[in-house]
Each structure stands twice: as C-alpha cells, then as structure tokens.
Chains A and B, each alone.
Chain A
C-alpha cells in the first residue's frame, strides 16, 4: 500500500489523532498551568496569558483542555480495546463453534442489545460506586455487544468459505483455524470497526461526563468541562463550546480515517476472488 494512495481526508484524520495523542502523553510538559490551578477570575476572556480564557472556577481552559485530552483519550482507548477484545473473542468462538455455544452467546447478546446503551449505562451506574475502572468496564462490556454482532457476521462470512472447511478436513485445531485462516481475512473490516468503537467511546464518555456520571471533578475531562461551563451559555459565555469542539474535532478525525478504511475493505473484497 503506497503512501500517496491515502486520500487527503484520511491524512487530516491521522494527523489530528496523532496531535491529540501527543497532547495526552506530554500533557504535563505542554500545559502552561496546572489541571486544578485557579489562575484568574471566573470566565475571563482569551488573552496572551490564558490563550482560551478561563473557566467557571477561574482555571486556565487551555491547560484543562490538554489534561482533558489525557483523560478522554486514555479512558476511551482502554474501553475500546477492552470492548473489542471481549467482542472479537466471544464472536469468533461462537462463529467457529456453532451449535449451542453460538445460540447461547447470540441470544445473550441480543438481550443486551435490546436496551439502548446509554439507558443501560445509566441504570448500571446508578448502582455502582464511582470509580474509573468501573467506568471503563461498564463502557467496554456494553459496547462489546456491537463488536460481537459485527465480528460474528464477519467470521461467519469467512467461515463458510471452503478453505476453512478444507482446513477442518485436514484436521487443523480450532485455534489454528481462528488465528491462521479466519483472522487474517477479517483484518480490514475489523480495523474499521475498531475505529468506529473508538469514536463511539469518545462520544459516549463525554456524554456520560456531561450528565455527571462519567469522570468526576475536579479531574479534567472534555465532557465534564462542558457541564461545568454550560451555565454561561445563556449569558453569552462560550467557554463550554471549546471542549465540545475538541470532542467533535477528534471524533471527526477518527471517522475520516474509518471512512477510508471502509472504502479499502470493500475494494479488497471485490479484488479477492474474481477472475
């Protein structure tokens, strides 16, 4: 795959994501002020010291934004990796095993998918203690249902191909079939799906934080920052739009990369078995 094949939109997306990760990793080095440091008055407009102004408690918005990148990205990434792993493992096992295992897992998945994710999360978070690991676990388990559905469809699509049956007839073990026959052919759609999950996690986390159920203050998190500053909107203070914009920008970047991956997937499928 040559570099110049990647369309402009995908390049912008990749650069945006890299930039966000850069901020997240080197937050403490780049941010001009501390995460919880109160530096000036409430909702001061942007000036040379505070490039984006201050928030509802007088903290520097730019610094909080950079630290927020750290929280948002790491929690979202952890949740997507976990959800993806759970979903792929369960769905591939179901697809290859067939029979009662497949039926059982799929019915369970259908049940969990019959409640919209946010509602389910609200109900569950109402009960559980507030803790970042529990948050990640809840996000991961709920989102894994979508990964399961896609993973199972992809695995079944491939599993009915004769080369999988040929491997079975040879006497190959189940692990070989999953990892050496099915998985290599599933990479493209799965990679695109991971991107979608990541974008969803970012949006989902910020929504939960916005509703007060995600990351708890005073830790900086983009969704939480919108919540903190929302009361200023009606008075013309646009501070809440800045973290909101950051969320949107990052999600747009991820979606642009995913769009490109999805286009590659369908062309690969077409180029595969045709004469």
Chain B
C-alpha cells in the first residue's frame, strides 16, 4: 500500500508544521505561475481547438480556396501549432507580443501606452471605492435592519442591476450634456497637464466606482456582520469594553482577511468594467484596444490583451490570498 509520494507528503507535512507561512506563500506563488502558464495555453491553443476554420471566418464572404491558402501562409497559420505556441510564448516572456494583423505594427508599443491608461483608471476607481465600500458596510451594520441599512440595501440592489454602459451614459447625459460640467469623450494623450487628465477621467472613474461599489458593499456588510457576531465579541462586551474599543481591538484584526477576500472577488468586476467603460467614454486604454481587435479578428492583439488581463487578475487574486494568509495568526505563530 506504499504510496510513492508518501515521502514527499511527509516532508511537506513536517515543513508545514514548522514554517507554515513560508510553505503556503511559496505554494501560492507557484500555483499562480502554473495558472498563468495554463491560461496562456488556453488562450493560444484553446482557440485552435474551437470549431470553424479560422481563416475562412476571417475572410468571411470573400473566402475562396486560394485566398484562404494565401492568408494562412501570410499569417503563418500553416505551421504546426506547437511551434507557433512556443514562438509566441518565447516572445511574450521577452515582452514581444508580435505584430498586429490589422496595422502590421508591433503590439507591444500600443500595449505599453494603453496599459498605463487602463491601470491609471482602475487604480483611481479602486482607491475611491474600497474605502467607501468598507465605510458604507460599517454604517449598514451599525444601523442593521433600520432605515439607513434598508436604504443602502435598496440602492445597492438597483446599482448591481444596471449594466455598466447604462450607468456611463446616464452620467454623460446628466453631467456632460445637461449640466455641462464634465468632458466627453475622455481622450487623454501624452504630456497632458495633470488637471486636464483628472477632468477627463472624472466620469469614467465615477462609472467604475458605482459599478464596483454596489457589489463590494453588500459583501463587506456580510463579512463585518459575521465577524461582529463571533463569540469573542460577546466576551469583549461581557468584560465591559466600550463598543468602539471592542471593534477596534477585537473585530478589526479578524476582519482584515474576509474584507481583503471581498475586495479580491470584486476585482473581477473592475477588470470587466474597465473594458466597457473605455468603449463608452472612448478612452484610449487596453479595453478599447481589445474590443476593436475582436471586432476585426486581429488575433495577436486579442491574445495579447487576453493574456494581460488574465495575468493582472491572477496577480491581484494572489496578492489577496497572500494577505489573507499573512493575517491568519495560526499561520504566523505555529504551535
């Protein structure tokens, strides 16, 4: 019944007993890298496995056997898939994403410019919405089941039901068209003065904040309620501690992990929201780049954008996991 991996399991078990933190962190890093690689395979090779001859779809109406053959040769589609994959992967690792089929220009150029813009937008949206979500969550818990909580509940329910583009256009109609205080479209360019840049992204950021805030706030409320109803909070009350002190000393340290978890879950909404928001506001970021490329089936761009979005998402999830691991006292102080 000897399990050949028993030795490995036993060693890992011993290591885990003595240095649980290190083992978990290393494992998490390794897992993320593995995931990223698997995603690259999925994005590249998975596409090939789908039904439908790509070249034919690309040419659409004008597909003749000769033109199909030409396209395939032009785009290098006639070489074996494994060769193409490793070539692509090799390039990616060095930062070269190949050339766009539509423009012929290197994809990396566009990406470096646009990724910065998208991250800029996402970062501001996150910086505003996370504290707001935690704060509103705490307010909702403080007034649990009373009027402020119910109002917040209804508003957030409405907010999560609105499609992102609808929120965007509503804001445009209200602030740009009727009130005339905001700029639309939100074009930004190199060397733009800071104040103008902030004005340009005001509406897109507001849209993103509204999209993410609603989801996050409901979850932070649930996380806080769960921590507040723990037995150790009752102990604090029975020791005569004031409400505020109990929250700061006892609830807060245990709330870090669940709240970080909530933020991580909502990062997905942020990544997706960026794509739609950029299209609505005509903002020169990765989202708009990808959508345009998909429409004309510019595969190198689509694959590059897909990989980058996935990588950012995996990275953020990994950071969230690591924070949750480090915040766990059982792992920081093993037996």
Given contacts A213-B295, A252-B158, A128 and B52 within 8 Å (CB-CB): yes
Q: Which residue of A lies closest to B56 (CB)?
A: A129
Chain B residues numbered 282-307 whose CB sits less than 8 Å from any CB in chain A: 290-291, 293-295, 297, 299, 302-303, 305-306
> In the bound complex, do residue A122 and residue B294 qualify as a contact, i.e. CB atoms below 8 Å apart?
yes
Bound-state CA distance A240–B170 (Å) is: 10
Contact partners of B306 in chain A: CB under 8 A: 115, 119-120, 122-123
Binds A, one of B161-169, B191-199, B255-263: B161-169
> In the bound complex, do residue B161 and residue A252 qualify as a contact, i.e. CB atoms below 8 Å apart?
yes
Report B273 CB to chain A, min CB distance, Å.
Answer: 9
Bound-state CA distance A128–B51 (Å) is: 7
Bound-state CA distance A182–B154 (Å) is: 33
Q: Decide yes or no whether B97 CB sits under 8 A from chain A.
A: no
Q: Which residue of A lies closest to B54 (CB)?
A: A127
Given contacts A119-B310, A127-B54, A226-B169, A248 and B161 within 8 Å (CB-CB): yes
> In the bound complex, do residue A116 and residue B271 qualify as a contact, i.e. CB atoms below 8 Å apart?
yes
> In the bound complex, do residue A255 and residue B161 qualify as a contact, i.e. CB atoms below 8 Å apart?
yes
Bound-state CA distance A256–B157 (Å) is: 8
**Cβ 8 A contact of A252, one of B157, B295, B313:** B157
Bound-state CA distance A118–B279 (Å) is: 14
> How many A-B residue pairs lie within 8 Å, measured between CB atoms?
142
> In the bound complex, do residue B309 and residue A115 qualify as a contact, i.e. CB atoms below 8 Å apart?
yes
Given contacts A115-B39, A244-B166, A122 and B291 within 8 Å (CB-CB): yes
Report A43 CB to chain B, min CB distance, Å.
Answer: 14
Report B266 CB to chain A, min CB distance, Å.
Answer: 11
Q: Decide yes or no whether A259 CB sits under 8 A from chain B.
A: yes
Q: Which residue of A lies closest to B52 (CB)?
A: A129
Residue picked from A110, A112, A122, A234, most chain B C-beta under 10 Å: A122
Binds A, one of B4-12, B22-30, B79-87, B172-180: B172-180
A85-117: CB near B (< 8 Å → 1, else 0) gives 000000000000000000000000011101111
> In the bound complex, do residue B309 and residue A127 qualify as a contact, i.e. CB atoms below 8 Å apart?
no
> In the bound complex, do residue B177 and residue A234 qualify as a contact, i.e. CB atoms below 8 Å apart?
yes
Q: Which residue of A lies closest to B276 (CB)?
A: A207
The total of chain A residues at the interface (CB under 8 A) is 46
> In the bound complex, do residue B297 and residue A126 qualify as a contact, i.e. CB atoms below 8 Å apart?
yes
Contact partners of A255 in chain B: CB under 8 A: 157, 160-161
> In the bound complex, do residue A128 and residue B43 qualify as a contact, i.e. CB atoms below 8 Å apart?
no
Contact partners of B54 in chain A: CB under 8 A: 127
Q: Decide yes or no whether A230 CB sits under 8 A from chain B.
A: yes
> In the bound complex, do residue A119 and residue B271 qualify as a contact, i.e. CB atoms below 8 Å apart?
yes
Q: Decide yes or no whether A83 CB sits under 8 A from chain B.
A: no
Bound-state CA distance A241–B279 (Å) is: 16
Bound-state CA distance A32–B161 (Å) is: 29
Q: Which residue of A lies closest to B154 (CB)?
A: A9
Q: Decide yes or no whether B230 CB sits under 8 A from chain A.
A: no
Contact partners of A125 in chain B: CB under 8 A: 294
Chain A residues numbered 211-236 whose CB sits less than 8 Å from any CB in chain B: 211-213, 223, 226, 230, 233-234, 236
Contact partners of B173 in chain A: CB under 8 A: 233, 238, 241
> In the bound complex, do residue B170 and residue A115 qualify as a contact, i.e. CB atoms below 8 Å apart?
no
Q: Decide yes or no whether B314 CB sits under 8 A from chain A.
A: yes
> In the bound complex, do residue A123 and residue B39 qualify as a contact, i.e. CB atoms below 8 Å apart?
no
B244-258: CB near A (< 8 Å → 1, else 0) gives 000000000000000
Contact partners of A199 in chain B: CB under 8 A: 161
Bound-state CA distance A30–B183 (Å) is: 41
> In the bound complex, do residue A114 and residue B166 qualify as a contact, i.e. CB atoms below 8 Å apart?
no
Q: Decide yes or no whether B326 CB sits under 8 A from chain A.
A: no
> In the bound complex, do residue A212 and residue B309 qualify as a contact, i.e. CB atoms below 8 Å apart?
no
Bound-state CA distance A212–B297 (Å) is: 12
Contact partners of A129 in chain B: CB under 8 A: 52, 57
Report A142 CB to chain B, min CB distance, Å.
Answer: 12
**Cβ 8 A contact of B50, one of A119, A128, A207:** A128
> In the bound complex, do residue B162 and residue A212 qualify as a contact, i.e. CB atoms below 8 Å apart?
no
> In the bound complex, do residue A226 and residue B275 qualify as a contact, i.e. CB atoms below 8 Å apart?
no
> In the bound complex, do residue B302 and residue A118 qualify as a contact, i.e. CB atoms below 8 Å apart?
no
Q: Decide yes or no whether B272 CB sits under 8 A from chain A.
A: yes
Q: Decide yes or no whether A245 CB sits under 8 A from chain B.
A: yes
Q: Decide yes or no whether B105 CB sits under 8 A from chain A.
A: no
Q: Which residue of A lies closest to B41 (CB)?
A: A111
Bound-state CA distance A213–B268 (Å) is: 20
Q: Which residue of B lies closest to A247 (CB)?
A: B163
Bound-state CA distance A263–B207 (Å) is: 29
Q: Which 7 A-B pairs have CB atoms at the shortest separation, nearest pair first? A: A251-B161, A244-B166, A252-B161, A123-B306, A126-B294, A118-B272, A115-B310
Chain A contacts to B: CB under 8 angstroms:
9, 110-112, 114-120, 122-129, 199, 203, 206-207, 210-213, 223, 226, 230, 233-234, 236, 238, 240-241, 244-245, 247-248, 251-252, 254-256, 259
21 residue pairs bridging A and B, Cβ less than 8 Å apart: A111-B42, A112-B42, A114-B313, A114-B314, A115-B42, A115-B306, A116-B268, A116-B271, A118-B272, A118-B276, A119-B272, A119-B275, A123-B302, A124-B47, A127-B47, A127-B57, A127-B297, A234-B176, A248-B158, A251-B161, A259-B157
Given contacts A199-B161, A233-B169, 19 further A-B contacts (CB under 8 A): A111-B35, A111-B38, A114-B310, A115-B42, A116-B268, A119-B271, A119-B272, A119-B310, A123-B303, A126-B297, A127-B47, A207-B164, A210-B165, A211-B275, A244-B169, A248-B161, A251-B163, A252-B157, A259-B157
Chain B contacts to A: CB under 8 angstroms:
35, 38-39, 42-43, 47, 50-52, 54, 57, 154, 157-158, 160-166, 169-170, 172-173, 176-177, 184, 268, 271-272, 275-276, 279-280, 290-291, 293-295, 297, 299, 302-303, 305-306, 309-310, 313-314, 317
